Amino acid sequence: MGRTLAEKVWDDHVVRRAEGEPDLLFIDLHLLHEVTSPQAFDGLRKAGRQVRRTDLTIATEDHNTPTLDIDKPIADPVSRTQLETLRKNCAEFGVRLHPLGDVEQGVVHVVGPQLGLTQPGTTVVCGDSHTSTHGAFGALAFGIGTSQVEHVLATQTLPLAPFKTMAITVDGELPEGVTAKDLILAIIAKIGTGGGQGYVLEYRGSAIEKLSMEARMTICNMSIEAGARAGMIAPDRTTFDYLRGRDHAPEGEDWDAAVEYWKTLRTDDDAVFDAEVHIDASALSPFVTWGTNPGQGAPLSANVPDPASYEDASERFAAEKALEYMGLTAGQPLREINVDTVFVGSCTNGRIEDLRSAASILQGRKVADGVRMLIVPGSVRVSLEAVAEGLDKVFTEAGAEWRHAGCSMCLGMNPDQLAPGERSASTSNRNFEGRQGKGGRTHLVSPQVAAATAVLGHLASPADLATAGQSDVATPAGV
Amino acid sequence: MEAFTTHTGRAVPLRRSNVDTDQIIPAHWLKKVTRDGFEDGLFEAWRKDPEFVLNQAQYKGATVLVAGPDFGTGSSREHAVWALQNYGFKAVISSRFADIFRGNSLKNGLLTVVLPQETVDRLQKLVEADPAAEVTVDLVSRQVRAEGVTADFELDENARWRLLEGLDDISLTLREETSIVAYEANRPSFKPRTIEV
Query: pLDDT tens-digit profile of A298-340?
Result: 999 999 999 999 998 888 999 999 999 999 999 999 999 999 9
Q: Give the pLDDT confidence score for residue A243 in this predicted structure.
A: 98
Q: What is the mean pLDDT of residues A440-446?
A: 98
Confidence of residue A158 (pLDDT cuts 50, 70, 90): very high
Confidence of residue A472 (pLDDT cuts 50, 70, 90): low
pLDDT, mean over chain B: 96
**Residue A235 scores a pLDDT above 50:** yes
Write the burial class of residue A324 (CB in 10 Å: 0-12 exposed, 13-18 middle, 19+ buried).
Answer: exposed
**Per-residue b or e along A422-436, where b marks 16 or more CB atoms closer than 10 Å to that residue's CB:** bbbbbbbbbbbbbbb
Task: Tally C-beta pairs within 8 A across A and B.
Answer: 208
Q: Is B2 on the interface with A (CB under 8 A)?
A: no
**Residue A477 scores a pLDDT above 60:** no
Asked if A155 lies within 8 A of B15 by C-beta distance, the reply is no
Q: Which of residues 177-196 of B touch A (CB under 8 A)?
A: 179-180, 183-184, 187-196
Confidence of residue B168 (pLDDT cuts 50, 70, 90): confident
* One-letter identity of residue B60: K
Dist. CA A275–CA A151, nearest whole Å: 31
Q: Which chain B residues have a beta carbon less than 8 Å from that of A54?
A: 194-195, 197
Domains within chain B, CATH numbers bracketed: 6-185 (3.20.19.10)
Q: Give the pLDDT confidence score for residue A474 in this predicted structure.
A: 44
Asked if A55 lies within 8 A of B20 by C-beta distance, the reply is no
Q: Which one of A55, A321, A434 has the shortest CB-CB distance to B197?
A: A55
Domains within chain A, CATH numbers bracketed: 5-275 (3.30.499.10), 334-467 (3.30.499.10)
Q: What is the mean pLDDT of residues A285-297?
A: 97
Give the range among A384-388, A472-476, B141-145, B170-174 with minimum mean pLDDT.
A472-476
**Residue A164 scores a pLDDT above 70:** yes
Q: Which one of B16, B18, B76 has the shortest CB-CB distance to A143?
A: B76
Q: How far is CA A334 from CA A283, A290, A292, A445, B100, in A?
A: 19, 8, 15, 12, 33
Q: Give the pLDDT confidence score for residue A260 in this predicted structure.
A: 98
pLDDT, mean over chain A: 96
> Tens of pLDDT along A34-50?
999 999 999 999 999 99
Task: Determine what percent of chain B falls in helix, strand and coil, rounding each to the nearest 5.
Answer: 40, 20, 40
Dist. CA B149–CA B111, nearest whole Å: 19
Q: Which one of B34, B78, B180 has the shortest CB-CB distance to A147?
A: B78
β pairing state of A157-160 and A23-26: antiparallel
**Residue A471 scores a pLDDT above 80:** no
Confidence of residue B125 (pLDDT cuts 50, 70, 90): very high
Dist. CA B108–CA A39, nearest whole Å: 13
Q: Is B45 on the interface with A (CB under 8 A)?
A: yes
To the nearest whole angstrom, how far is the Cα of B48 from the nearest Cα of chain A?
12
Q: Give the pLDDT confidence score for residue A80 in this predicted structure.
A: 94
**Residue A117 scores a pLDDT above 50:** yes
Q: Give the pLDDT confidence score for residue A478 in this predicted structure.
A: 41
Which residue does chain A place closest to B194, by CA atoms? A55
Asked if B176 lies within 8 A of A318 by C-beta distance, the reply is no
Q: Is B174 on the interface with A (CB under 8 A)?
A: yes
- ipTM for the predicted complex: 0.93
Dist. CA A426–CA A288, nearest whole Å: 10
Q: Is B48 on the interface with A (CB under 8 A)?
A: no
Interface test with A, best of B23, B31, B121 (most A CBs within 10 A): B31
Q: Give the pLDDT confidence score for residue A476 in this predicted structure.
A: 43
Asked if A227 lies within 8 A of B70 by C-beta distance, the reply is yes
Asked if B17 lies within 8 A of A433 by C-beta distance, the reply is no
Q: Which chain A residues have a beta carbon less than 8 Å from that of B185?
A: none
Q: What is the mean pLDDT of residues A371-385?
A: 98
**Residue A469 scores a pLDDT above 80:** no
SS3 for chain A, per residue?
Answer: CCCCHHHHHHHCCEEECCCCCCEEEECCEEEECCCCCHHHHHHHHHHCCCCCCHHHEEEECCCCCCCCCCCCCCCCHHHHHHHHHHHHHHHHHCCEEECCCCCCCECHHHHHHHCCCCCCCCEEEECCHHHHHHHHHCCEEEECCHHHHHHHHHHCEEEECCCEEEEEEEECCCCCCCCHHHHHHHHHHHHCCCCCCCEEEEEECHHHHCCCHHHHHHHHHHHHHHCCCEEECCCCHHHHHHHCCCCCCCCHHHHHHHHHHHCCCCCCCCCCCCEEEEEEHHHCCCEEECCCCCCCEEECCCECCCHHHCCCHHHHHHHHHHHHHHCCCCCCEHHHCECCEEEECHHHHCCHHHHHHHHHHHCCCCCCCCCEEEECCCEHHHHHHHHHCCHHHHHHHHCCEECCCCCHHHCCCCCCCCCCCCEEEECCCCCCCCCCCCCCEEEECCHHHHHHHHHHCECCCHHHHHHCCCCCCCCCCCC
Q: What is the mean pLDDT of residues B78-90?
A: 98
**Residue A5 scores a pLDDT above 50:** yes
Q: Give the pLDDT confidence score for residue A323 in this predicted structure.
A: 98
> Tens of pLDDT along A51-63?
999 999 999 999 9
